[in-house]
Structure 1
Amino acid sequence: MDNTQLHVAIVSSPGMGHLIPVLVLGNRLATNHNIKITILAITTTSSSSEIKFLKQSNEKKTIEIIPIPSVDISHLIDSTTKVITQLRLLVREALPGIRSGIASMNHRPDALIVDIFGTQMLSIAEEFNIPKYVFHTSTAWLLAVFIYQQVIDQEIQGEHVDLKQPLEIPGCKALQPDDVMDPMMDRNDQQYHEYLKLTMEYTCFDGILINTWKDLEGETIKALRSNEKLQPGLKVPLPIYPIGPLRRTFEITERDEVIQWLDKQNYESILFVSFGSGGALSSQQMIELAWGLELSQQKFVWVVRPPSDGDLDNAYLNSNGNDTRVMSEYLPEGFLTRTKDMGLVVPMWAKQVEILSHSSVGGFMSHCGWNSTIESLTNGVPMIAWPLYAEQKMNAAMLTEEIGVAVRPDISPTKKLVKREEIQGMVRILMDTKEGKSIREKAKKLKISAENALSEGGSSYNSMCELVKDIRTR
Structure 2
Amino acid sequence: MELHNSKHMVLLSSTGLGHLIPVIELGKRFLFHHNFKVTILAVTSQTSEAETQILNSSPCHVIQIPSPDLTGLVHQNDAVVARICIMMRAAVPAIKSIISKITPRPSALIVDLFGTESIPIARELNILSYVYVATHAWLLALLVYSPVLDVQVKGQYVDLTEPLKIPGCSPIRPEDVVDPMLDRNDRQYKEYLTIGNGIQKSDGVLANTWEELQRKDLQALRDGGLLSKVLNMRIPIYAVGPLVRQPELEPSSSTKSLLTWLDQQPNESVLYVSFGSGGTMSYEQMKEMALGLEMSGTRFVWVVRAPNEGATDAAFFTTGGHDNDDKMCKYLPEGFVLRTREMGRLVPEWAQQETILSHGSIGGFLSHCGWGSTLESIINGVPLVTWPLYSEQRMNATLLAEELGVGVRPKVLPTKEVVGREEIARLVREVIGQNEKVKSNPVRRRVKEIQHSAVSALSKGGSSYVALSQVAKTIGRE
TM-score scaled by structure 2?
Answer: 0.94
Distance 1:75 1:466, change over 3 A: same
Q: Secondary structure in 2 aligned to 1:467?
A: helix
Task: Read off the aligned partner of 2:154 and give its amino acid letter.
Answer: Q
d(CA) in 1 for partners of 2:273, 2:249:
21
- What pairs up with 1:32-181 in 2 under 5 angstroms? 32-58=33-59, 63-181=60-178
Supply the distance in 2 between the matched residues of 1:5 and 1:126 (Cα, whole angstroms): 16
Give the counterpart letter for 1:388 in structure 2: L
Cα distance change, pair 355–319 in 1 and its aligned pair in 2 (3 A)? closer
What is the DSSP-based 3-state SS (H/G/I as helix, E as strand, rest coil) of the residue aligned with 2:90? helix
Name stretches of at least 5 consecutive residues in structure 2 with no aligned partner: none
Question: Which letter maps to 1:374?
Answer: L
* Aligned mates of 1:253, 1:320 — CA distance in 2: 18
Identity of aligned residues (%): 48
Read off the aligned partner of 1:151 and give its amino acid letter. Answer: V
Shift of 1:226: 4.1
Q: Give the drift of 1:228.
A: 4.7
CA contact (8 A) 1:268 1:363 kept: yes
Is the partner of 2:119 in helix, strand or coil?
A: helix
Aligned-pair Cα RMSD in Å: 1.8
Tell me which residue corresponds to 2:444: 440
Preserved CA contact (<8 Å) 1:147 1:230: no
Residue 291 of structure 1 contacts residue 420 of structure 1 at CA under 8 Å; is this kept in 2?
yes
Spell out the pairing of 1:200-349 with structure 2 (5 A cutoff): 200-231=197-228, 235=232, 237-254=234-251, 256-319=256-319, 321=321, 326-349=327-350
Q: Which moved more, 1:347-356 or 1:380-389?
A: 347-356
CA distance in 2, matches of 1:102, 1:233: 35
1:367 partner amino acid: H
1:21 paired with 2:22, answer yes
SS of residue paired to 2:139: helix
- Post-superposition Cα deviations, 1:21-79, rounded to whole Å, max 9, x if no partner, equal 01100011010001110100111142243222211224xxxx21111122222432232
Amino acid at match of 1:257: S
Once structures 1 and 2 are overlaid, which stretch shifts more, 276-285 or 63-72?
A: 63-72
- Are the counterparts in 1 of residues 247 and 354 from structure 2 also a CA contact under 8 Å? yes
CA contact (8 A) 2:308 2:314 kept: no
CA distance in 1, matches of 2:215, 2:203: 22
- 1:313, distance to aligned residue in structure 2 (A): 4.3
Unmatched tracts of structure 1, length 5 or more: none
Aligned-pair CA distance for 1:234:
5.1
After superposition, the C-alpha distances for 1:98-120 in whole angstroms (9 at most, x for unaligned) are 11110121221100000011111
Contact 2:288–2:421 (8 Å) recurs in 1: yes
Structure 1 residue 348, shift from structure 2 partner? 1.1
Deviation at 1:5, TM superposition (A): 5.2
Q: CA 1:351–1:45 in structure 2 vs 1: closer, same or farther (change >3 Å)?
A: closer
Whichever residue aligns with residue 40 of structure 1, its letter is L
Aligned length: 468
Aligned residues of 1:171 and 1:227 also touching (Cα < 8 A):
no
SS at match of 1:302: strand
Q: Are 2:460 and 1:459 equivalent residues in the alignment?
A: no
* SS of corresponding position for 1:428: helix
Contact 1:384 1:430 in 2 (8 A): yes
> In 2 relative to 1, CA 307–43 (structure 1 residues): closer, same or farther, beyond 3 Å?
same
Q: Which residues of 2 match residues 352-391 of structure 1 at below 5 A? A: 352-391=353-392
Q: Matched residue of 2:102: which SS?
A: coil
Q: Which amino acid aligns with 1:174?
A: P
**Contact 1:248–1:353 (Cα < 8 Å) also in 2:** yes
8 Å CA contact 2:220–2:226 kept in 1: the answer is: no
Deviates more, 1:83-92 or 1:463-472: 463-472
